[in-house]
Amino acid sequence: MKFNLKTFRLFLLLISLHPHILNAQWMQWECRSNNSLSEFSNHINDMKERGYAPVNISVVTYSKEPRVSSIWQKANVNDWACWHGMDQNAFTEKIKYFNRKGLSPIDIAVWKENAGELRFAAIWQKINYEGVVEIGVNENELRKKITNYAKKGYSPRDLNGYAVGDDIRYTCIFDKQPRGQLLISFGNSENEFQKEFDKNTPLGYYPIDVNYFNYKGNIVCNGVWAKGDLIWDNRKGYDIEEFQNYLEEKTDNGYSPIDIDQYYLNGSFYYGATLTKSKKNNQIINPSYIQSNISAASIAQKTLPISPVEQQTKVWCWLATGEMILKHYNIPNANPSGNYQCGIIGSIFYNSPCYINCFNSICIRPSGSNLNTLRMFKDYSWITSKKVFNCREGYELNFNTIKTNIDKQKPILCGISPVRRQYYSGAEHAVVLIGYKIINEIPFVVINDPFPYSNVDNPYLKEGASLLQKNQYQISLQTFTNKLFWHWSLSDIEII
């Protein structure tokens, strides 16, 4: 079949949104990039034990080796499966096998081994709607199948394009999940695909599936758009470092990834992704302090026995707060010399010299994002103790929530930004809230702040806080929230 860059649209009047959006919680996910197949195999077992399920997978051969990127979400059940490296016959048999088990395919990746042989990876989940897979159809066949499946109540969930000789083939998932009104586009050049974005966005559509692939040295693009009241962002053409920075920035602004893709072009390897968030997340620009109803007769106070720890470099507040909280939950020190902060940085930066010698340019680095701070807690708990770090992620908290946490022996990680003062952004600094106290019906909190402030530039003392001991302060909750700009938190922490 001669390749042509036509766009095919289909309008489907259904009733809902993409399931990734409905189930997503702020950062209750993991995104892993640039894994080898063997690393990904180990990752499957590791993430399953940690309570995650895969929802998106992309595989591309780069430097003669397949590289895998994936998105994982917290899962209440383990009714899922993920297989990779299958040829077409094995893939077909797996589809039949999991169909008998009641599992439906939710995402597929297709790539070529060095000899040019096609390989498939797929994710199956136990879901309440029927899904079917079409393998290796050409453009005309895909167009007909979209139309015919629509008549039966099916819509495309996942489109994967790839070159087979001089032809383009598609392997796709169709299912009966209601997604609202859809637009479907495939076989586009980059310029044509950008025009699709420019046209669809003002109409209220956002991409729920995007696929890029190399055809004769040019990028060809496929996409599925749904209508929804969401803010979204889609980017491509990033190398691994640029992609990680993009992901961290968007995550700290309240976005969650729903689709990741990668492609090889002109000797380089690139990433693309789609992230979304609710529009309501953009309405707040400052922390909100709400006065709690506190009885005049109430005399309440409690402080957890967590000693303040000073950060050992100017950028290690995330490691120092990690030391305070993880020690409280009896997570051991992984450093052979007994330096807890070095133990954290050495454990989570695999194959780095930080495990033994952490005071060098490789290891002295900031968290960089709220996402990385949270990942530190998750990874270190698992690496050292095979324990899962659970928490509630959010913004600033009211007094009743603080009291409930402290009464249950649960410290709270607080992200503050007293200088930059940007609400939807990564925190400038991390501290630990370990206690509360009522003074004249006004709630105060006890904060362990690891930074070694001088008396001149100490933001707590400037705002009238009391210094209880080195690196520990008592400050009114209202002042801490508004003046120290508390805008991110990890609360209800459990390590089990």
Same domain assignment for residues 167 and 270 = yes
* 288 found inside a domain: no
On whether residue 290 sits in a domain, the answer given is no
Residue 203: what pLDDT? 93
Judge whether 6 lies within some domain.
no
Contact between residue 438 and residue 301 where contact means Cβ atoms under 8 Å apart: yes
Asked if residue 376 and residue 248 are part of one domain, the reply reads no
Average pLDDT (19-32) is 56
Hey, what long-range contacts does 144-147 have (CB within 8 A, 24 or more apart)?
145/172, 145/174, 146/8, 146/10, 146/184, 147/10
What DSSP character marks residue 431? E
- Of 127-141, 168-182, 293-307, 337-351, the range with the lowest mean pLDDT is 293-307
Which residues, other chains included, contact 63 with Cβ-Cβ below 8 Å and sequence gap of 6+? none
CA-CA-CA-CA dihedral for 96, 102, 108, 111, to nearest 10 = -30
Instruction: Evaluate whether residue 116 is within a structural domain.
Output: yes
**Are 64 and 114 contained in the same domain?**
yes
- Residue closest to 418 by CA, chosen among 386, 444, 457: 457
Beta strands in 95-166 (DSSP E): 104-112, 118-125, 131-137, 155-164
307 lies in the same domain as 233: no
Domain stop point among 282, 316, 334: 282
Number of domains present in the structure of the chain: 2
Q: Are residues 48 and 117 in the same domain?
A: yes
Instruction: Write down the pTM of the prediction.
Output: 0.84
Output the domain CATH number for residue 485. 3.90.70
Residue 167: enclosing H or E segment and its boundaries? strand 167-175
Higher pLDDT, 217 or 291: 217
Identify the pLDDT of residue 298. 54
Q: Check whether residue 108 and residue 23 sit in a common domain.
A: yes
Question: Does 369 lie in the same domain as 445?
Answer: yes
366 and 226 within one domain: no
pLDDT tens per residue, range 140-175 = 999 999 999 999 999 999 999 999 999 999 999 999
Helix (H) or strand (E) holding 381: helix 370-385
The larger pLDDT score, comparing residue 312 to residue 113, is at: 312
pLDDT of residue 130: 84
Band (pLDDT 50/70/90 cuts) for residue 297 is very low
In 3D, which of 354, 353, 345 has the Cα closest to residue 318? 345
Quickly state the pLDDT bin for 15 (edges 50, 70, 90): very low
- The verdict on 313 and 208 lying in the same domain is no
> Given 248, 282, 316, which residue is the final one in a domain?
282
Q: Are residues 73 and 182 in the same domain?
A: yes
Please give the average per-residue pLDDT across 107-125, as a whole number. 93
Terminal Cα distance for the chain, rounded: 56
Is there a contact between 12 and 182 (Cβ–Cβ < 8 Å)? yes
pLDDT of 120 over the 90 cut: yes
For residues 307 and 278, membership in a common domain is answered with: no
**Does residue 479 sit within a domain?**
yes
Identify whether 9 is part of a domain.
no
Considering the domain architecture, whether residues 333 and 424 belong to the same structural domain is answered as yes
Tokens 């939950």 sit on residue: 329
- What domain range is 192 assigned to? 19-282
Would residue 306 count as lying in a domain?
A: yes
Q: Which of 383, 387, 371 has the alpha carbon at shortest distance from 493?
A: 387
- Domain for residue 250, yes or no? yes
Residue 22 has pLDDT above 60, yes or no: no
